[in-house]
Chain A
Amino acid sequence: MKIAVPAQAPNLESAVSRRFGTAPYLIVADTATGAFEAVPNPGASAARGAGMQALVLALNEDVQAVLTRHCSPTVVEHLKAHDIQIVSGLTGTVGELLARYKRGELGPANVGRAGAQETMGLFAKTAWQAAMRQSCKEFGSMLPILAGVVLLVGLLRGFVPAAMLGRIFSGRVWRDTLCGACAGSLFAGNPVNSYVIGAELLKQGVSLFAVTALILAWVTVGLVQLPAEMAALGRKFAVLRNAACFVLALPLAVGTVLLLHWLSGFAP
């Protein structure tokens, strides 16, 4: 049976770490052989999600019990959902805790996954309830910001009519392509709208380069959705992804039109 103990140093003499998520090491010990391994915890220096990273590490190591001083309720829920026994509120060295666990002082030493299989059937009510609770929590935390984005999309379309787009194009291909990407980044919503607007702009003499950049940026860049993306995936990821998509829209627009021209003799 494998037991994980968050530790300050990579040895059995180390004190148990104050928190499971931010411990520098996880000592993974095998009660059958007495062997142990000190695995560096990737979440030790993480600003967010440290507990989840330590949890993933514990799951990868296939541990069946975690002995710790403190562990966040979310991680406790996940550990329980994966049939991993958790004993918290402990102090002392890693070696002492492992010895106490083996002697059965910290809980039944033989509780592992096999003992919990009965609660893990396909229709096990408690497991579904836990999953439902977790899903509602995760989903609910995003709802206010999603509502904000939906309202902002409406506001943008209500106050900035699409007809205004025609006025920003000057007839210069490169400038118009950039303007197309900018306009596409600002607008959001059903991509069919971008096709209709694009076709209308083509009739007005705007280049296909600009229209393609508009269509591409419309679906890949989202300035309006940026707050929601930052909340969900982090500021750095959201800003970099949107910036990269904006830049990518320009060569892809040029490439699409040039390829079309090359293949069919279509004049852009």
Chain B
Amino acid sequence: MNANHVANHKGRRLLKRVGFFPAFVLALYGIGGIVSPDKTVVALRTSANVLRTMSLPLVLVFAVMLLLNRFVRPARITGLLGRSAGWKAILMATGAGILSVGPVFAWYPLMRKLKQEGADQAPIAVFLYNRAVKLPILPVMVKYFGWAYVGILTLLTVLGSLVLGCAMRLVFRNR
């Protein structure tokens, strides 16, 4: 085995570990840098801003995961968020989704952990959908669209999340 083989093998292993998706995005940046350096700089600045807004939720998610790993057994998670928990799990997910902050992808590690430890797909879908209700920025929405519109949209969003939860439960009922 020569040095080239070793380098190729290491490159493939690194790509596999890091993932093809981030490598693909970096390649897009490379192309963007050649085609339009100014827009690429704007893109990098925007990414930095997104990263800043998600830093606090990421810390929160890590803390919740740490506490779950330390104190909560998978069986407890199954009991609270598993299929057998029924509407209780859906209501908990609704409340948690409304109260959660930050970009949705900051919550994916926690959702994955809950799913691996027995949480049902329906409450996870309901949680993600209810993130559409943003309590801290409701006043901003009211300023643009008025109380009545915001009230109706919020109510229908919560009801829509329940419809989604039922649909996901039906689709994944044999799992």
Q: How far is the CA of A225 from the CA of B107 in the complex (A)?
A: 12
State whether B131 touches A256 (Cβ < 8 A): no
Contact of A216 with B by CB under 8 A: yes
In whole Å, how far is B72's beta carbon from the nearest beta carbon of chain A? 10
Given known contacts A155-B28, A196-B144, A233-B124, A135 and B62 CB-to-CB distance under 8 angstroms: yes
Task: List 7 contacting pairs A-B, 8 Å CB cutoff, sorted by A.
Answer: A132-B66, A150-B47, A189-B103, A245-B164, A252-B157, A260-B152, A266-B148
Given contacts A135-B65, A144-B22, contact A154 B36 (CB under 8 A): no
CB pair A195–B140 under 8 Å, yes or no, is: yes
Q: Apart from A135-B65, A138-B113, what 16 extra A-B contacts exist at CB < 8 Å?
A: A56-B78, A59-B75, A132-B66, A145-B21, A155-B25, A155-B32, A158-B39, A189-B103, A198-B144, A199-B145, A219-B131, A222-B104, A232-B115, A237-B124, A244-B168, A252-B153
> Which of chain B's residues have a CB closer than 8 A to the CB of A93?
none
Closest Cβ–Cβ distance, residue A120 to chain B (whole Å):
10
**CB of A55 within 8 Å of the partner chain:** yes
A8: shortest Cβ distance to chain B, in Å? 24
Taking CB atoms, residues of chain A closer than 8 Å to B172 are: 237
Q: Write the nearest CB–CB distance from B123 to chain A, whole angstroms.
A: 12
Contact with B along A19-53 (1 / 0, CB 8 A): 00000000000000000000000000000010011
By the criterion CB–CB under 8 Å, are B152 and A263 in contact?
A: yes
| Given contacts A220-B132, A266-B148, A228 and B105 within 8 Å (CB-CB) | yes
Q: Which of A135, A151, A212 contacts B69 (CB 8 A)?
A: A135
Q: Provide the bound-state CA to CA distance between A5 and B172, in Å.
A: 29
B44 at the A interface (CB under 8 A): yes
The yes or no answer to A214 lying at the interface (CB within 8 A) is: no
Indicate with 1 or 0, residue by residue over A220-241, a CB within 8 angstroms of chain B CB atoms. 1010010111011110010011
Bound-complex Cα distance A227 to B22 (A): 10
A153 in the interface, Cβ–Cβ < 8 Å?
yes
| Residues of chain B contacted by A55 (CB below 8 angstroms) | 74
Decide yes or no whether A116 CB sits under 8 A from chain B: no
Say yes or no for A131: interface residue by CB 8 A criterion.
yes
The interface bits of chain A over 119-147 (1 if a CB of B lies within 8 angstroms of the residue's CB, else 0) are: 00000000110111011001100101111
Bound Cα distance from A139 to B105, whole angstroms: 12
Cβ contact within 8 Å between A232 and B153: no
A 231-268 binary contact with B (CB < 8 Å = 1; else 0): 11110010011001100100010011001100110100
Proximity string of chain A (185-218) to chain B, C-beta cutoff 8 Å, 1 when within and 0 when not: 0001111100110110000000000001001100
- Chain B residues near A (Cβ < 8 Å): 17-19, 21-22, 24-26, 28-29, 32, 36, 39-48, 50-51, 53-54, 61-62, 65-66, 69-70, 73-75, 78, 103-106, 108-109, 111-113, 115-118, 121, 124-125, 128-129, 131-132, 134, 137, 140-141, 144-145, 148-149, 152-153, 156-157, 160, 163-164, 167-168, 171-172
CB closest chain-B residue, reference A227? B21
Whether B50 lies near A231 (C-beta < 8 A) is no
Q: Which 8 A-B pairs have the closest CB atoms?
A: A158-B43, A154-B47, A148-B22, A131-B70, A232-B108, A131-B69, A154-B46, A59-B75
Q: In the complex the two chains form, is B73's CB within 8 Å of A82's CB?
A: yes
Query: 0/1 per residue, A146-186, Cβ < 8 Å to B?
Result: 11111111111111000000000000000000000000000
Question: Are the CB atoms of A142 and B109 closer together than 8 Å?
Answer: yes
Q: Assess whether B74 is in contact with A59, with CB atoms less than 8 Å apart.
A: yes
Which chain B residues lie closer than 8 Å to A132 at the CB level?
66, 69
Contact of A159 among B39, B75, B124, B129 (CB under 8 A): B39
The 8 Å CB contact of A127, one of B70, B75, B111, B160, is B70
Contact B18 A144 (CB under 8 A): yes
- Contacts A248-B163, A248-B164 given; does A134 touch B69 at CB 8 Å: yes
Closest to B44 in A: A154
Q: Which residue of A lies closest to B124 (CB)?
A: A233
The verdict on A78 contacting chain B, using a C-beta distance below 8 Å, is yes
Asked whether, in the complex, the Cβ of A78 is within 8 Å of the Cβ of B125, the reply is no
Q: Are A56 and B118 in contact (CB under 8 A)?
A: yes
Per the bound structure, the CA–CA distance linking A240 and B115 in Å amounts to 16
